[in-house]
Amino acid sequence: MNLKGRSFLTLKDFSPVEIEYLLDLSAELKQKKKNGILGSSLKGKNIALIFEKPSTRTRCAFTIGCIDEGGHPEYLGKDDIQLGHKESIEDTARVLGRMFDGIEFRGFKQETVEKLAKYSGVPVWNGLTDSYHPTQILADFLTLKEQFGRLKGLKLVYTGDGRNNMANSLMIGSTKLGINFTILAPKSLWPEETLVEICKGYAQTSGSKITISDSLEAVEGADAVYTDVWCSMGEEHLAAERIEQLKPYQVNKELIAKTKKAETVFLHCLPAVKGNEVTEEVFEQFANVIFDEAENRMHTIKAVMVATLGNY
């Protein structure tokens, strides 16, 4: 599989085989690190990490993943550069492309990460935008593979804000890889119809099913229940409204019981607001798998950099 020179902006751009390849490479790099073996595939490569929004996991995963493979990461926070304020995105992209070998971007608009890729001429990786969070999905799916030994045919239920970056990216990834995907949310927070239609196309090819429902009964049979914060970064002013809308969709022990399955796991991309989208009790019950998932951010992000930029 050759993904050299490719950007990673949304999972829409990657075939199921390519996504599976990235998951396999992640597992391989994880095993190597556990055995004390680090690579050198990013030796001599300089990587820019642009963050318009804050981050713990994504920033650390790109930093450690890069250094583990012999590369040099450079953090560029929102007050460090003039991206889109004093300098156009196109110009910053062209400058960074002359100095760096790869660029990570976390921020607001998907359009920004797309422009960076278009004008920099080097691989650009999406570390989260308002629309998508594709590297998170790789970590989520690696974790599910570790738990169940497969992805195809699993039932994944996402409950909460059904039109945010996580819901969108989970829907794309699940339907591409044959996971039956349910969004459980009030109608006011259902995903955009155009994206649902695109994903229905993927589902037809992979043999999976999409369900969008506002009824808690839709959780029945879930192998994994997933949630995310009720208010994404940049939407903090909507907190009171969101709590009202989403209170019935909290992941608590009653909701987990409705799966009617003993082996259901709970996933969360983190950070979590306990008491809102998930109770402390459920969070702690599944803490091991949640923190495997957080660790897997590093192995999967490393795999994306190695596959698209490394000498591997």
- Taking alpha carbons only, the member of 38, 35, 31 closest to residue 312 is 38
- Concerning whether 269 is annotated as a catalytic residue, the answer is yes
Q: Does 64 bind ligand CP (CB under 6 A)?
A: no
* 59 tagged catalytic: no
Tokens read off for 305: 């950099």
Q: Does 61 bind ligand NVA (CB under 6 A)?
A: no
Establish whether 250 is a catalytic residue: no
Q: Would you say 50 or 309 has its CB closer to ligand NVA?
A: 50
272 near ligand CP, judged by CB under 6 A: no
**If contact means CB under 5 to 8 A according to the sort of partner, which of ligand CP, ligand NVA, none does residue 40 touch?**
none
Q: How far is CA 291 from CA 65, 108, 138, in A?
A: 17, 26, 15
> How many CA atoms within 13 Å lie on the side-chain side of 108?
6
Check residue 146 and report its DSSP letter.
H
Specify the residue, 120 or 232, whose C-beta has the smaller distance to ligand NVA: 232
Q: 104, 140, 228, 277: which one contacts ligand NVA (CB under 6 A)?
A: 228
- The answer to whether the beta carbons of residues 183 and 160 sit under 8 Å apart is no
Q: Is 228 a catalytic residue?
A: yes
Count Cβ atoms within 10 A of the Cβ of residue 144 and give its class: 0-12 exposed, 13-18 middle, 19 or more buried: buried
Q: Is 133 a catalytic residue?
A: yes
Question: Which among 15-23, 68-76, 78-86, 268-276 is the span making contact with ligand CP, rule CB under 6 A?
Answer: 268-276
Q: Which residue has the tokens 């963050």?
A: 51
Sheet of 102-106, strand order:
72-77, 46-51, 102-106, 124-126
Task: Report whether 8 contacts 137 (CB < 8 A).
Answer: no
* Residue 210: other Cβ atoms inside 10 A: 17
Residue whose CB is nearest to ligand NVA in the complex, by number: 232
Nearest to 160 by CA among 235, 54, 109, 60: 235
Query: Quick one: which segment of 76-84, 147-155, 227-235, 238-246 binds ligand NVA (CB under 6 A)?
Result: 227-235
Q: How far is the CB of 100 from ligand NVA (least distance, A)?
A: 24
- Contact partner, 56, from ligand CP, ligand NVA, none, Cβ < 5-8 Å per class: ligand CP
Choosing from 47, 128, 171, 307, the residue that interacts with ligand CP (CB under 6 A) is 128
Q: Cite the active site residues.
A: 106, 133, 136, 228, 269, 297
**Which residues form the interface with ligand CP (CB under 6 A)?**
55-58, 128, 136, 269-271
**Which residues form the interface with ligand NVA (CB under 6 A)?**
128, 133, 164-166, 228-229, 232-233, 269
